[in-house]
Amino acid sequence: MSAVQQTQAVTPELRAWIIEQAQAGAQPEAVLASMKASGWNEDVAIAALEETLRGFLDERAKSSALLPPPVPVPDPLPKEGGLPTVLRLPDREVRVVMAMNEPRVVVLGGLLSHEECDELIAQAERRLTRSETVQTDTGASEVNAARTSQGMFFERGESELCRRIEARIAALIGWPVDNGEGIQVLRYRPGAEYKPHYDYFDPAQPGTPRILERGGQRVATVVMYLNDPEIGGGTTFPDVKVEVAPVKGNAVFFSYERAHPSSKTLHGGAPVVAGEKWVATKWLREGVFR
């Protein structure tokens, strides 16, 4: 141990390293051992560790106290017992392709059959218009330059196919059919994209209370891929640098227990480079959507 280290303050680099180790699940004893191995005096290292971790926990407690409280959200996977490879739903077996926790994202294989994808496109195609998004400043629906796709909404339960898909999703995620919005279908031509956004309604916007009268906040999204674009068109999660490939019949589920960027559910549709991209989106609300 050198005299320098005896008196050395915790540098920003060391602090960042200690926090990184703690977040990665390293035990304090292991962190202490690494510090000792790189020449730190044990007492000085313990003091540095304690100071750094206490400061980190205080800051985290302060910032989570400012967040809205979390609400219950649906999920496709059992809470315990390991990751299943197949989910046996009443009318279909769905494969589990990938799951992560922060944000909660689950990629599902074969949620829809290829015939269901084709039929949904056929039913939607003649009703497409330039996509609109709900404007939270006014509560009205407006054409939005961030979304260069064309789209349409089915009413919930509008056709036998819609009812079948809605019932399947309800069984998949354990959430009532009545809490779902009608299925939205989007078509992206080459060059079209959906810039990163959150699917929940921004609580700070004046139009939001009006929107929330119909079933409360959105708490989860299921994006179903209806065809295979040749290149591009993945669903991106920029906060965690994840991109889900748009594979016909597959779907990506994600949930957000807080209507807040801390949910890390910023997501977008990457530009389609070649071919077309068709998706069907199902948004789930906290309560009954009317």
Interatomic CA distance for residues 268 and 193, integer angstroms? 8
Interface map 202-241 toward ligand PD2 (x if CB under 6 A): -------------------x-x-----------x------
- Residue whose CB is less far from ligand PD2, 52 or 131: 131
**249 is in the binding site of which of ligand PD2, Zn ion, none (Cβ under 5 to 8 A by kind)?**
none
Instruction: Please identify, among the stretches 19-27, 105-113, 136-144, 262-270, the one whose residues bind ligand PD2 according to the rule CB under 6 A.
Output: 262-270
| Pick 181 or 199: Cβ nearer Zn ion | 199
Choice from 165, 185, 281, 289 touching ligand PD2 (CB under 6 A): 281
Q: How many CB atoms lie within 10 A of CB 4?
A: 8
Residue with tokens 């060391």: 14
CB of 270 to Zn ion, least distance (A): 12
- Nearest approach, Cβ of residue 281 and ligand PD2 (Å): 4
Cα–Cα distance, 145 to 128 (Å, whole number)? 16
Percent helix, strand and coil across the chain, each to the nearest 5: 30, 25, 45
Identify which of 108, 82, 38 has the alpha carbon closest to the alpha carbon of residue 252: 108
Nearer to ligand PD2, 22 or 134 (CB): 134
* Torsion 163-169-172-176 (CA) sign: negative
Is-cis flag, bond preceding 176, omega within 30? no
- 240 neighbors 174 (Cβ within 8 angstroms): no
Interface stretch with ligand PD2, choices 19-27, 45-53, 165-173, 264-272 (CB under 6 A): 264-272
Listed in order, strand segments (DSSP E) in 53-104 are 86-89, 92-100
Exposure b/e, 68-86, CB count within 10 A at least 16 = b: eeeeebbbbbeeeeeeeee
Interaction between residue 199 and ligand PD2 (CB under 6 A):
yes
263 binds, among Zn ion, ligand PD2, none (CB under 5 to 8 A by kind): none
Question: Cα separations (Å) of 275 from 45, 140, 189, 270?
Answer: 58, 32, 7, 13
Closest contact distance (angstroms) between CB of 207 and ligand PD2 is 18
Please count the residues of this chain forming the interface with ligand PD2, following the rule CB under 6 A: 11
Q: Specify the residue for token string 């800051």.
A: 59
Which does residue 235 touch among ligand PD2, Zn ion, none (CB within 5 to 8 A, set by kind)?
A: ligand PD2
Q: Which of 224, 269, 282, 289 binds ligand PD2 (CB under 6 A)?
A: 269
Q: Which of 267, 276, 282, 285 binds ligand PD2 (CB under 6 A)?
A: 267
Question: Which stretches of the chain bind ligand PD2, using CB under 6 A?
Answer: 186, 194, 199, 221, 223, 235, 267-269, 279, 281
